[in-house]
Amino acid sequence: MIMAFDIGNTTMALGVYQAKKLIANWRIKSDREKTPDEYGLILCDLLEHEKLSSRKIKGAIISSVVPPITPVIEQAVEKFFGVKPLLVGPGLKTGIPILYENPAEVGPDRIVAAYAAYKKYRGPCLIVDFGTATTFDAISAAGEYLGGSIAPGIQISAEALYLRTARLPRIEIKKPRAAIGRNTVSSMQSGLYFGYIGLVNQIINEVSAELQAKPVVVATGGQAELIASDIKAIDHFEPNLVLEGLQLLYEKNRPGDKK
């Protein structure tokens, strides 16, 4: 079994693969204050809850956009599982040419998602990752990472309204009954929900025009389930896209593999 870690700004997605099958997955808070021992105990408890033995973890791979947490998870994996994890970054083979002006600026999770989507659907494709930020990543028909867009996530947008105004409350983000709100909460929900659909649709349209083709649009990320079903341009919802990409990249780069 191998363990995959997708460390995001707000949450960390974890998955255990046996061969190519995802047999367990969780999402926990990304906490910069936790020690390797604390994370190690959490990981062991999660495995035990699913009746999986930590002794059967034979490998691990990490994608992280939170540098302070990366070495903490590395140490936890080495201490509790006895394996040295692979890190997504320079030196890891992906097979995807990155055409960004500065490839080092591209978040590892974006490359992993692009790799998984292209392997599954080929190109051109567009990955929309609804996380703390919402990212849009375009892949050419030839499998090249072209770049994309970064927008505030819908949760960040809601928090900004609450924090930067005197009278607007903190609200639950959900689909409103109508676009015309009859009170402050429903008016905010309308603006956030339908406004965000408009944002996503417009970026998809602009990217499609630049690609001069209709890309396969793949949605993923912690906030995707909330809104993706109302965006008709989205072709597929893949909640575990980054975990799938991590498993594929582990197989491509596993220790002793000469490929």
Which residue numbers are catalytic?
A: 109
Is the bond into 239 cis (omega within 30 degrees of 0)?
no
Helices within the chain (DSSP H only): 36-49, 70-81, 108-121, 154-163, 184-211, 224-227, 241-253
List 51's β-bridge partners, or say none: none
Q: What is the DSSP letter of 98?
A: B
End-to-end CA distance of the chain: 21
Task: Please choose, from the candidates 194, 198, 172, the residue with its C-alpha nearest in 3D space to the C-alpha of residue 185.
Answer: 172
Task: Please choose, from the candidates 11, 210, 248, the residue with its C-alpha nearest in 3D space to the C-alpha of residue 129.
Answer: 11
**Contact 37/225 with Cβ under 8 angstroms?**
no
Angle between helices 108-121 and 241-253 (to 10 degrees): 90
Task: Please choose, from the candidates 229, 204, 220, 202, the residue with its C-alpha nearest in 3D space to the C-alpha of residue 8.
Answer: 220
CA 58 to chain CA centroid, nearest Å: 24
- In this structure, the number of other CB atoms found within 10 A of the CB of residue 13 comes to 26
d(CA 3, CA 74): 12
**Contact 79/42 with Cβ under 8 angstroms?**
no
